[in-house]
Amino acid sequence: MKKLLYLLAAVAFFACNETPKQEEKKDSLKEGVEKIGQDVKSAAGDAGDYLDEERQKLKSDLEERRNDIDKKMDQLKSDGSARSQEARRKLGRLRDQISGKLDELKNGTAAGWDSTRTDIDSALKRSDREWTNFKQDFKELFQ
């Protein structure tokens, strides 16, 4: 009976021990998981950098447009004509739209980036059209 007990203990002991091959596989698997983790962190960092760069570019485009409108509104303040007042009202609405998009951009999340980007792009295009139409409608004020 003792011999059987020793034999079972020896078999259990050898069954629990890992072979060098098993240890190598375990180590390579662990290294693979660590590499994947590093790659994911790197990709997330790259995506974050790209998102920040895109956000900054859109922000500068919107701020540039708003500054152009502000300059023109300041020029129109000196002219007291009814046409100038109408132009300032239209520019004010356009400026408010752009300011709203700037706020949306600043408060936007990474999860909603695609919809924010699309919305701001369409707002910039619409603003370009309105600015062009405004210049055509009020060309006497741009001389």
Asked if residue 41 belongs to a domain, the reply is yes
pLDDT in tens, 94-143: 888 888 888 887 777 666 777 777 887 787 788 778 878 777 777 766 65
Number of domains in the chain: 1
- In the chain, pLDDT over 70 holds for what percent of residues? 71
| Beta carbons within 10 angstroms of residue 15's beta carbon | 7
Asked if residue 134 belongs to a domain, the reply is yes
Asked if residue 20 belongs to a domain, the reply is no
CB 132 within 8 A of CB 143: no
Asked if residue 2 belongs to a domain, the reply is no
Asked if residue 62 belongs to a domain, the reply is yes
Asked if residue 29 belongs to a domain, the reply is yes
Domain extent at residue 33: 25-142
Q: What's residue 79's pLDDT?
A: 73
Asked if residue 4 belongs to a domain, the reply is no
